[in-house]
Amino acid sequence: MKKRNFVGAGLCMAMAAAMFAGTEVKADEGIKLVFAQDLDTNETSNRVMNEILAEYTELTGTEIQFEPSSDYRTWLMTQFAAGQGPDVYTGIIYDMSQDYQSGYLVNFKDIYEEESAYDPGQAWKDTLPDYICERMYISADDVPGYPTATAVVRIFYNKSMLDAVGAEVPTTWVEFMEVCQLLKDAGNIPFAFPNATTADLSWLWFNNSICSQMNPGIVEVLDVSGNGYVELAEICKGMDEGNIDFTDESMMASFELMKDFSQYWTSDYNGLDQNTAVEMFARGEVAMVQAMSTKLESIEAIVGDSFEYGVMPVPVITEETYEGVLGKSVILGGQPDIIFGMNKALEEDPEKYAAALDFVQYMSSPEIQARLAEELCRIPLATTVDLPEKLAGFTITEEPLRMAWFTGINEKLRNYFQRAGQEYLSDAITVEEFAETMNDSYEEVLEEIKTENGWSAENNYGL
């Protein structure tokens, strides 16, 4: 990696002073930072990350102790409870927002107004797309960290298989169903839809997009803060006030639409896992599969030159399908998934605080984001980074997910939704029973969340 010839202003001054004194030293010599990120057991991700951290230490002298915990959130909360949270760590917007409100994180509001040492020329916040920047402000005065990347969900399609049945790549839901029928009539399996556990995600992903497209008015009703997104506290408030109801006509219509779609899946979808579904697509056994951009490398490795493929977003639901729809596809993924936050305890140690901020700005630099895009297929968020050609299909063109119906609550709710969905798809329960189950599940889970956070109507849910 090409070394940067600039670091934070304070570190540059320290280096210059030392050099004039006749001793050349690296910035931050002797400082050690604990950095945590959830990379699970992915060997490539861990290798690349360790290479980047070693290069940063060589550049600055700051030692980085990397903690790639597999049981990440449990480990993280245990560390903070013991007063030993990492100096820098990453998380998704929902977790980082909660951690900030728990007092664990530095407020980045003022930092956003300054330039990054590794991407100078404009305020740091101005290197973010507008909708991402807006998403990062919990309130006008509170920002929990800096986002560097996301993973975008797409439908991978076998273009060769579509061409063989005379089908064009669909853009609307009606066209999508027509293409699925053409493929099925020709003896193909249109879609590998993994739905064995919550980890298989397609049931959660699709329903997030479909419900958002078919019930767009809910955001204006629930968004008390006016930031354009529905936060967890606003969901609690909306449920208590009767503004969230899964027996609503539009919600049940969205579930029925998914049930109709299921006729085009592999017959074992309730036992199919994500990795197997992706492999089936890569071997040419099914025409389509839904997966994150991070799966691109493994798909490329299996497909080789055996067939041509492409990616597309969830199709747009139009008035032809349901009246009053949004008229735009809603992004799956595309949220600030890798947000760098700094431990608030660093504010008591200015030197270590400066080193941590330099590290965060280095990790968010165009150079590092471009590398992670190329090597790990992470979609960079900085507007100063160009996507590699292989990721061009993952450019975000859709409407943001403004209310994460089934992925933005907690794991217990995801489990309820996934299990009830299995029963509904297999005809064990009706759509009405499924909707009632979701109402009951939301109420149970949100009651627990309100208790944990001390939220109630009396304190306006902490809003």
**CA angle 185–308–392, rounded 5-degree value:** 120
- The CA distance from 265 to 341, in Å, is 40
183-185-190-192 Cα dihedral, nearest 10 degrees: -160
**Cβ atoms of 33 and 352 closer than 8 Å:** yes
d(CA 413, CA 221) in angstroms, rounded, equals 22
Q: How confident is the model over 42-69, as a mean pLDDT?
A: 91
What's the confidence (pLDDT) of residue 11? Answer: 42
Q: Evaluate if residue 326 carries a pLDDT over 80.
A: yes
pLDDT band, very low/low/confident/very high, at 218 (cuts 50, 70, 90) = very high
Q: Is the pLDDT of residue 89 over 90?
A: yes
Whole-number percent of the chain with pLDDT over 90: 71
d(CA 429, CA 309): 37
Q: Which three-class secondary structure state does DSSP give residue 137?
A: coil
Higher-scoring residue by pLDDT: 21, 413: 413
For residue 24, is pLDDT > 50?
Answer: no
Is the pLDDT reported for residue 13 higher than 50? no
CA distance 206 to 444: 24
Q: Which of 3-7, 36-40, 198-202, 238-242 is least confident?
A: 3-7
- The per-residue pLDDT for range 129-140, each reduced to its tens digit, is 888 898 899 888
Residues of the chain with pLDDT > 70, as a percent, come to: 93
Task: For 262-299, write each residue's pLDDT tens digit.
Answer: 999 999 999 999 999 999 999 999 999 999 988 888 89
Q: Give the per-residue pLDDT at 29.
A: 61
CB within 8 Å of 272: residues ≥ 6 apart: 192, 193, 194, 195, 196, 200, 266
Buried b (16+ CB within 10 A) or exposed e, 419-446: ebbbebbeeebebeebbebbbebbeebb
Tell me: pLDDT of 421 over 80.
yes
Tokens of 441: 């599940």
- Encode pLDDT of 336-390 as tens digits: 889 999 999 999 999 999 999 999 999 999 999 999 999 888 889 988 998 888 8
What pTM value is reported for the model? 0.78
Q: What is the C-alpha to C-alpha distance for residues 65 and 87, in angstroms, rounded to an integer?
A: 10
Separation CA 344–CA 342 (nearest Å):
6
Query: For residue 66, what are its two tokens?
Result: 């990397």
The CB density around residue 103, as the number of other CB atoms within 10 Å, is: 9
**3-class DSSP state of 171:** coil
Residue 152 has pLDDT above 60, yes or no: yes
* Residue 124 Cα distances to 142, 181, 384, 387, angstroms: 15, 49, 11, 20
- pLDDT band at residue 17 using 50, 70 and 90 as cut-offs: very low
Q: What is the average pLDDT value for the chain, to the nearest integer?
A: 90
- Output the pLDDT for position 59: 95
pLDDT class for 199, splitting at 50, 70, 90? confident
Cβ(331)–Cβ(213) below 8 Å? no
- Whether 87 and 145 have beta carbons less than 8 Å apart is answered as no
Cα–Cα distance, 368 to 374 (Å, whole number) = 10
Within its chain, how far is the Cα of 354 from the centroid? 28
